[in-house]
Structure 1
Amino acid sequence: MATPRPSVLIAHVYNEAYLLPWWIRHHVGMFDEGVIIDYASTDGSMDIVRKLAPHWKIMSSQHQAFDAMLCDQEVMAIERTYDNRWKMVLNVTEFLCVRDMKSWLASLEQHGWEAYGIRTAIMVDAISAESPDLDPDQPLVSQRHHGYFEEQHLIELQPFFSRCRIIHRMEDGAYCMFGRHVSTHRTYIHPAGALLKFCLYSPMNAAFLNRKLQIGDRVSAQDLKHNSNIHHRLDLNGHQRRYSAEARKSSNLMHYREYADVMGDWRERSLARTLTGARYPAAPGVMWHESGDAPSYSTMTLLQAILQQPSYIFKIGLEHWARTQLDRDITDLPAAVTLAFAVLMYQLPHLSSQASLSRVREAYARLHRTALAHPRHAPLWWMLALLLDQLDQPEDAQAMRALAVQLCPEVFSQKPSHELVYWEASN
């Protein structure tokens, strides 16, 4: 297999002395180059970078406060200074896991897509099980395995959000709408052989909570005005409540083939299967309940996947899900919109455009009743407009498109393109 083009990793950092040693040791051998954007750290974080990755570049951020949109713009400006590279932007809570980085990148080049969205495991320590002490000299990713896949559940406080991260080979990431988790480039969702571990509440200890608590004071006035990044502004009690909610979704991910194939060696996988009787899924990319029930998808993950790369969805799983939803009174707005997209994109058996139109109209009415007039809801209005265009309902489509423009004019008043303002769903 041909040698892939070089790779560069970019991250923005503020006082990350606790996680940074694990994070750098994990990634320094994977990427050819690294860029750390320093938000005026005061805890020795940059000394850690200089010691563990002396060839990486450290740059001071142009901004004192953390502002989601300005952060994305700064990151893309740096990306544009690197030609002919694979480029990825991560937070220090995010660990890219692959067996062999060079071989994996070579396979991506052979596959030929501009960008790839990496499957994400949301790492949350279990409450019931007492977690073993962490060894600072061992990889963090090999010491914690409890969590859930983003397809299985929505993240608390982030119902319109996906943790999917993009690796791409373009001038910049063209990140839009959902921050750096979505790109306007042609993106293949969940390529095989890679996993992103996002440490939401793992390791759950005092040091990890302290790093979360410090960020709230750095959120920009603009983000505060739009009630953005609410998860950064929780106090200790708020984090404890959120952790309790997230931990209820968490289980040992070594029981799932998608995780174990990347994270475990063969002995670990055989032992896990022997001790637990876990049945690994037969089809890559689909999470099955151990009871043998239907695939479990979150509606927003489905919707995002349909919009970005329809072939990602396994048709049999989607058909089962759509049938189930059609037979019940859908009270979840994203579910109604997703079902409509599923019908239109796949022309599923036993489902019709008329049924889809009915669900769209239900969603339309619900939007009016609940007065969802916040910028974060603009994408739903825009998607409904696209649906109604396809269903030949131009007047309703125009009404929905107008509200999307009203709620978020910097994005939706112009044609979707590479030049879109970089917009986060939580704005």
Structure 2
Amino acid sequence: MRTVITHFYNEAYLLPWWLDHHAAIFDHGILIDYGSDDGSDDGSDDGSVDICRQMVPHWQVVRSRNLQFESIAVDFEVMQYEANLPGWKIALTTTEFLCGANLPMLEQAIEQNGLQGAYLEWAQMVDPFPDVEPVASVPLVRQKHHGFIPEPTHIGHGRLYHRASIGAYLPGRHQSHLPHIAQANGSGTIFWYAYSPWNDQTLRRKLQIKSQIPENDQKAGFGFQHLRDSQKMNEDRMALLGRTTDLSHLI
């Protein structure tokens, strides 16, 4: 069995694309809700939970045990679910889309080499055409496929695809204590939609996250990318445009 795990908080904009994309790749999914708005307090209704239940009714939607995005607690919660899963596992955020994956080939290579898992490479997505709004009826990766692949030494948003009982992650799940893991070169790329699509919906979802990060994590530098204001985010995106190219060949 192949399982993808994600956690979300008010992700109604990206979730339909994310769920449709990954439901075609994985047998099972565990979707951890970090208290998305349900209309009980101020009349707002994000609808993230309903989207999950409607689009992938055979997957598992659960309410997080944590009240905030405390990095280590998030990682432990992911691993608690992993421990009860047979087969192959990967933990992604709703900004991360696994593209061009040949999972049977990767699994065979991992098994033949006596490994527990492998890290998939990643690309940081940066939108050079913010005036072109993506439409809901077309896969996001087919509409917004510009970005760049960082240097191999940059850990960033690569993710571990593994068959161990748990991923034994360091904070953020970009590294692992597991022995016998390797790089999965050429077996798939994680498209991390950090600055794409670049529109008001993306800015709103990025700005909301910092309210969910506890003070201790902020002091420790965990989740620092979520603490910037909109001006800083715009400046960062502009600085990355020069590195951006069409990555549609990786889809």
Q: Give the structure-1-normalised TM-score.
A: 0.54
Distance 2:4 2:193 in 1: 18
**Could you tell me which residue of structure 2 aligns to residue 58 of structure 1?**
61
- Specify which of 177, 180, 194 is matched with residue 173 of structure 2: 180
**2:69–2:213 Cα contact (<8 Å) kept:** yes
- Look up the match of 1:135: 135
User: Equivalents in 2 of 1:89, 1:77: separation in Å?
Assistant: 12
- The counterpart of 1:80, out of the listed 79, 83, 86, is 83
- How many angstroms does 1:112 deviate by? 3.9
Match of 1:232 in 2: 226
Aligned to 1:199: 193
TM-score by length of 2: 0.89
Please report how far the alpha carbon of residue 179 of structure 1 lies from its aligned counterpart in structure 2 after TM superposition. 3.0
Q: How far did residue 61 of structure 1 move?
A: 0.8
Match of 1:15 among 10, 20, 42: 10
> Does the 8 Å contact 2:82/2:166 carry over to 1?
yes
Query: In structure 2, the residue corresponding to 1:15 is in which secondary structure?
Result: coil
Question: What's 2:47 paired with?
Answer: 44
SS at match of 2:232: helix
SS at match of 2:231: helix
The 5 A counterparts of 1:306-345 are none
Question: Partners in 1 of 2:152 and 2:163 — Cα distance?
Answer: 29
Unaligned ranges ≥5, structure 1? 1-5, 155-160, 255-259, 264-427
Q: 1:252 to 1:104 in 2, by over 3 A?
A: same
CA radius of gyration, larger in: 1
Report the AA paired with residue 19 of structure 1. Answer: L
Deviation at 1:150, TM superposition (A): 1.6
Q: CA deviation at 1:247?
A: 2.0
Query: What SS does structure 1 have at the residue aligned with 2:31?
Result: strand
Corresponding position of 1:67:
70
CA distance in 1, matches of 2:25, 2:219: 39
In structure 2, which of residues 235, 239, 244 is the aligned counterpart of residue 245 of structure 1?
A: 239
Relative to structure 1, is the Cα distance of residues 80 and 26 closer, same or farther in structure 2, using a 3 angstrom cutoff? Answer: same
Question: What is the letter of the counterpart of residue 136 of structure 2?
Answer: P
Which segments of structure 1 move beyond 4 Å, counting only runs of 4 or more? Answer: 99-104
Task: Say whether the 8 Å CA contact 1:125–1:131 is kept in structure 2.
Answer: no
- By how many angstroms is 1:99 displaced? 5.1
Q: Which runs of 5+ in 2 are unaligned?
A: 38-45
- Across the aligned residues of Structure 1 and Structure 2, the Cα RMSD in angstroms comes to 1.9
Q: Look up the match of 1:147.
A: 147
Do the aligned partners of residues 130 and 39 (structure 1) sit closer, same or farther apart at CA in structure 2, a change above 3 Å counting? closer
**CA drift at 1:40:** 0.7
Whichever structure has more strand as a proportion of its residues is 2
- 2:92 equivalent among 90, 100, 106: 90
**Per-residue deviation at 1:132?**
2.9
Q: How far off is 1:111 after superposition?
A: 4.6
* Residues 3 and 29 in structure 2, CA contact (< 8 A), matched pair in contact too: yes
Rounded Cα–Cα distance in structure 2 between residues aligned with 1:191 and 1:251: 20
- Residues matched between the structures, number: 242
Q: In proportion to residue count, which structure has more helix? A: 1
Q: Over residues 44-78 of structure 1, what are the superposed CA-to-partner deviations in whole Å (9 max), with x where a residue is unaligned?
A: 10100001000111111111111111111111111
Q: How far apart are residue 235 of structure 1 and its match? A: 1.4
* Matched ranges for 1:16-31 at <5 A: 16-31=11-26
CA contact (8 A) 2:101 2:189 kept: no
* AA aligned opposite 1:35: I
Greater RCO, 1 or 2 (C-alpha within 8 Å, sep 6+): 2
